[in-house]
Amino acid sequence: MNDVAESPVDLARQETVGRILDSAERLFRHYGYTKTNVADIARDLGMSPANIYRFFASKVEIHQAICGRMLGAVYQMACQILRAEGSATERLRSFIYAQHNLTVETMLDQEKVHEMVIVALERDWHVIEKHIDRLHDLMAEVIAQGIAAGEFAEQDPRIAARCFGAATATLCHPQMVSQCVNKPNRATFEELTDYALRALKK
C-alpha cells in the first residue's frame, strides 16, 4: 500500500472548498446562477470575497466545480445500476429510468437548477462530452455482456451504446426533456425505451 495520509492543511483546504461549493450551489438553486455573485457566496459563509478567490479564480470556476460534482454523482449512480445483478435489458432500462427521473425531478422541477445546467451545456460542453463518453463506456460493457449471454444480437458494443444513448436522448437531455415531457404527440418513456431495447436484439 502506497497510500499517503493527507496533511491537515490539505484536509482543511478540501473542507473549505466543500463549504464554498455547498454555499454556491444552495444560492444558485435559490436565486439562480446569473443573480448570484462571489460576494453573495462570501457573505453566506461569513468570509471575504478575497478568501473565496484564494480557492476559485471566478464564479465560472465555482460553477464548473459544482457541475463536475453533479456529473460525478450521476456517474456513480450509473455505475451502481449498470454494474448490478440482472439481465442487460433490465439494467439498461433501469438506468434510463433513473436518468429520466433525475432530469425531471432535479433539473426541470427546480427552475434555478435547470438554469445551471443550461449554462453548463452552452459553455462547458467539453465537460459534458467527457461525461457522455464515460456513460457510453458503461453502456457498452452491459451491451457486450448481453451479446455474450445471447440476449442481444452480435454487433459492436461501442457503436450500439452510442446509438442507444442517441435513441434515448430525449428522455435524459435537460433541454429535450423540457420540450417533450407531457406532450401527447411524443413517444412515452416506455415506448421509446422498449423500441431502443428491441433494436439491440435484432
Q: What is the pLDDT along the chain (202 residues), one digit of tens a residue?
A: 455 556 776 788 889 999 999 999 899 888 888 899 999 999 999 999 999 999 999 998 998 888 888 888 889 999 999 999 999 999 999 999 999 888 877 665 566 566 677 777 677 667 788 889 999 999 999 999 999 999 999 999 999 999 999 999 888 877 677 666 677 788 888 999 999 999 999 7
What are the grid coordinates assigned to 22, written together? 455547498
Which amino acid does the sequence have at 111? E
50: cell is: 478575497
For the record, the C-alpha cell of 92 comes out as: 439498461
CATH 1.10.10.60 domain residues, the chain: 1-56
- For domain 1-56, give the CATH number: 1.10.10.60
Helix residue ranges, H only, 149-188: 157-167, 169-172, 174-180
What is the pTM assigned to this prediction? 0.79
DSSP element (H, E) containing 22: helix 8-31
- The answer regarding whether domain 64-201 maps to CATH 1.10.3720.10 reads no
Query: For residue 150, how far is the Cα from the chain centroid?
Result: 31
Decide: 173 and 201 in contact? Cβ < 8 Å.
no
